[in-house]
Structure 1
């Protein structure tokens, strides 16, 4: 019989609806039950494409005896970290403070007042490698709760006090200057892997936000070192196993420093961010590789992640059926030499083996290899390679596909909207812009209420119950601002304004300018989460700074500009010390130093000269430049106000830092005005 999770919208929670565990969703009712029964709370946090979350479920949550013990001795709460990033952030901070590390699945034991007192991640079904079994942990915690309740309570209260002391301010810090950004660049250079690209060692994650900073820094200063790090990192990733050489799109991370073997889950947010980065790299360098990867990644998102409602699903699982009924990580993507021969025949299989770096020993597991591009494509016959790739893709499509998390997350859809809108505009792919518009329309229709409050998730056209957090408001605003620049439709600027006004009122500290991850009127947790550092996505703090700055440039709004600059104070404090973890904030600081430049293109939309000026403006590499396009009498976009045609020809205006260049009807002059 299904448990309470059967009524949830989260695919991760629904995966546990048939567990024998008497799960509760996160709710006041669950904690009331813990008080009524005088039991501790067992909080289990994960997400649908998490490999070890599935392992823990199979080993323990589906075990009748373990479940019976859990039901008798705990109130058990299951949380999808992607649906409730606020709950995840609060307790992950506690786990990391107590153990020095964290990850998912996350296991936390709480009092009925939601105060944590014992932590862990994955626990095996039997004692292993120095780790107790999950059953031993349950018995130990239950025993402590029964026999040493006062001690448990004191531990919990101390942890809550320690978390309260971690409040972030930086309200007095000024916006970053030239020296701060130069120090950040130096810090990235020290961490740079000159052999394989990227930063640090294994596991190695795609450094999307840091690469965006490097591209903007090059555009503003001419630093060839910054461009080289960005371009080489992108090439190594695109040639590695982390990139799907047949279907496009990137896996979550590489388990090695060479980008060879990925953790195979494919996340919407990674692909949205990387699609935009590769499009921006092409915009800077004209690289054919960057163009191909940007378009293939965009096509992957539309083909495999788009939902029936027009939004984008969260992720594809790492695991899939290997054809024998067993779920295996990477089964969908890896190839043995024999599998290549079965599909291609001996001659083309030898070509594929060389082209994709497949070996008899294998680069992955059990003699299988992850496809890479270790050699230059120029040494192979392009026609034969395209035929080989098409046949392999067709054969792979017949394999059991990885599961898909169909949850639509507002923030990640905002990132996808920005990426698809810009990629479609750069490469004359109106279908990609249309996909961005459809996703934006879904967010407005379903996620945004009449008070401009944003819901975090939806599934199958049904909106979730949980409120949006700062990253949702910021990233959706970012997507809407990109749409406004690409389409010239002022309604997207208006919607961005609604969201950012909410950021000013609900997420910003009036005195310090610091930002919180949850709204002032959101559900109260043991701590109001607040983190300015990037993780897999831009932090809500940095994303809000960027969107506020762009909106201020589009509208001339001083409150939004002031809020953006107040938020950037944290970048000055952290950027020189930890540039890898505040890349989007550094990229926003580059835009602030550059102006950002404001470009108004005035002219009829059906005039080829208008379209040419508009395209030149969109392709400008000036950091964070904003673009408005429309007729002189348009009242939808403030940048077009009081701007008229010159000699009755479509005209471009460029301004920054309260100073405007002479208007021009010449595309080359516009490009020059948008250079350094």
Structure 2
């Protein structure tokens, strides 16, 4: 039994992909740790995720090889980890490998002592020595020999490594006073780093930076943000046919996508495009927001109300095959629309997404550079092209679907749907947000009411992390603001109380990434940077500050400010890594206004529309019929005026006279 693969009973699609390997994989947990201690063998911890292209490659080359598996099974206790289910294990391993080698990524392969001390690691290793990389078997045998001859010395590094791998846990609070000029400094730094030609920040590979865009939009930047969003929207990273964004572009022009689609990217980007439209009125931004959310509802929405995690980059063993169209294929299916589609999609003999200046390997999907593409056709033509190509594409072999539902990522989608639904008057979006919130609250809590991380095949498991609680806190607040339903704010308050009881660092401030009763790992970390999803601590701070403004509970504000105190100086110096925290800091430094709108729903609508007519980063919003405050502090004593719906604009719960006219409300908000 010791050499049997133990992954068949797991629910993670990534772990199940490895359930038939000859490697005696075990999931991370007490059984693997106990076996390593009993047999005095190192742990070989291999970490990845289901839509990871190079994870699939290493599996085919090495983990499916009987001879390689025999070496792994002889010398190690082999553990497979889905990084999306276990971000705590992944974070420790990644920080070690980045510190030891100067780079990281997935697959991530790390060797640990039985008491979890990492002592060697790397990312992808080939089956034979090449490109300066040792073969995987060479690595295995060298590590096994090191353990045989140097185990005591390796074990002795535990204390020092545990401290170093704690992430931001060693960080001490900075000065308590916040300098508003730091936000201007951050904007200036981001402007200098901005790619003025192609949009975005950094060089290839280029990742969408939704949190950076959101921060700049809050500060009124419509130059770098809109240019970046337009470049991404027009590039190959955006699926022009089906909607939705790929995880990143392998080039600097957003042309060549790495084709996997992640739920979190699309939730964050849809909301950024929505806010860009609110600020500028640019209809292209609104269109991309809706295309992205429509894709998520069409291809990622489960019947139970949750959202799946990811679509793979590969189909039939080829990256991007599902998405690529050759000139001949377009002519065969589109008829008179073919020429317009060929120009728009930049199709070549090899296909679209082929860079003609850097020809792809034979048989690989091709790429086109942006300047070689024609303009987007008129809307009627685009609608015909998309309908036909979606139908034909749907008959192809689909990329693999990672169908687990993660609390954190679903919460990001709730925020996007609720916000967009309220602003764009899309009731279907708001309904989907409600359903997903109810799904999480019904299915992803244990018998004691504690939040869980992951759900699949009818079962939820694993204690939820800081990011799960924090993203859901933000989502429930956003859903309350979209619907004025009191239940979501009550659930947000209960969640905030868990954050304060289980995750806060009462000594130094901020939040740990795991709860105080979480499984004991080598280190209890604070993960500080957006990567690319918002850091859990930053989301906790932003959510708690918003909740304090809605409820008047000072303890929520104090907890949120403790995170700002830890990081505000660092964030201003390195803004591209702290976009979400900078949003929270911006919110805290503005005079925050609480807006309560009460009265019959039909009467409230024009007042609510006035509030949502542009992006307003300095207010929170609640409402009701004016007959029952439903336990919400902001609504207490707020009643209609002469039977008409009324808006109350308040600061620190001290309100100006109520107004019933939308223009009067706009004048108050814009004053």
Q: TM-score, normalising length from structure 1?
A: 0.94
Indicate the residue corresponding to 1:144 in structure 2.
146
* SS, match of residue 236 in structure 1: helix
Indicate the residue corresponding to 2:257 in structure 1.
262
Query: In the alignment, does 2:329 pair up with 1:339?
Result: yes
* SS, match of residue 193 in structure 1: coil
> What is the rounded CA distance, in whole Å, between the counterparts of 2:102 and 2:309 in structure 1?
29
Indicate the residue corresponding to 2:395 in structure 1.
398
Shifted more, 589-598 versus 203-212: the winner is 589-598
Shifted more, 347-356 versus 164-173: the winner is 164-173
Q: CA deviation at 1:634?
A: 1.9
Q: CA deviation at 1:461?
A: 2.7
> What is the rounded CA distance, in whole Å, between the counterparts of 1:412 and 1:176 in structure 2?
31
The one of 109, 128, 131 equivalent to 1:129 is 131
User: What aligned pairs does 1:95-494 form with structure 2 within 5 A after superposition?
Assistant: 95-155=97-157, 158-163=160-165, 167-174=169-176, 176-218=178-220, 226-321=221-316, 327-345=317-335, 347-360=336-349, 363-364=353-354, 365=360, 366=362, 368-370=365-367, 380-449=377-446, 451-464=448-461, 466-494=462-490
Q: CA deviation at 1:369?
A: 4.4
> What is the rounded CA distance, in whole Å, between the counterparts of 1:144 and 1:421 in structure 2?
54
> What is the rounded CA distance, in whole Å, between the counterparts of 2:299 and 2:94 in structure 1?
31
* SS, match of residue 655 in structure 1: strand
Choose between structure 1 and 2 for higher RCO, CA contacts under 8 A separated by at least 6 residues: 1
Query: In the alignment, does 2:620 pair up with 1:626?
Result: yes
> What is the rounded CA distance, in whole Å, between the counterparts of 1:414 and 1:554 in structure 2?
20
Q: CA deviation at 1:384?
A: 2.9
User: What aligned pairs does 1:552-567 form with structure 2 within 5 A after superposition?
Assistant: 552-567=548-563
Q: TM-score, normalising length from structure 2?
A: 0.95
* SS, match of residue 641 in structure 2: coil
> What is the rounded CA distance, in whole Å, between the counterparts of 2:174 and 2:153 in structure 1?
40
Kindly indicate whether the alpha-carbon contact (under 8 Å) linking 1:117 and 1:156 is maintained by their aligned counterparts in 2. no
Indicate the residue corresponding to 1:547 in structure 2.
543
Q: CA deviation at 1:176?
A: 3.6
> What is the rounded CA distance, in whole Å, between the counterparts of 1:599 and 1:658 in structure 2?
9
Name the CA shift for 1:50/1:164 in 2 (closer, same or farther; >3 Å): closer
The number of residue pairs the alignment matches comes to 660
Indicate the residue corresponding to 2:63 in structure 1.
61
Name the CA shift for 1:396/1:624 in 2 (closer, same or farther; >3 Å): farther
> What is the rounded CA distance, in whole Å, between the counterparts of 1:592 and 1:604 in structure 2?
32
Shifted more, 3-12 versus 271-280: the winner is 3-12
Indicate the residue corresponding to 1:223 in structure 2.
none
Indicate the residue corresponding to 1:80 in structure 2.
82
> What is the rounded CA distance, in whole Å, between the counterparts of 1:160 and 1:388 in structure 2?
56
Name the CA shift for 1:102/1:599 in 2 (closer, same or farther; >3 Å): same
What do the CA deviations read for 1:526-552 (whole angstroms, capped 9, x no partner)? 111112211120000100011101111
* SS, match of residue 600 in structure 1: strand
Tell me, which stretches of 5 or more residues in structure 1 are unaligned? Answer: 219-225, 322-326
Q: CA deviation at 1:658?
A: 5.4
Name the CA shift for 1:172/1:92 in 2 (closer, same or farther; >3 Å): same
Kindly report the root-mean-square deviation, in angstroms, between the aligned alpha carbons of the 2 structures: 2.0
Shifted more, 309-318 versus 173-182: the winner is 173-182
Q: CA deviation at 1:379?
A: 7.6
Shifted more, 334-343 versus 57-66: the winner is 334-343
* SS, match of residue 199 in structure 2: coil
Kindly indicate whether the alpha-carbon contact (under 8 Å) linking 2:33 and 2:115 is maintained by their aligned counterparts in 1. yes
Kindly indicate whether the alpha-carbon contact (under 8 Å) linking 1:311 and 1:439 is maintained by their aligned counterparts in 2. yes
> What is the rounded CA distance, in whole Å, between the counterparts of 2:158 and 2:523 in structure 1?
13
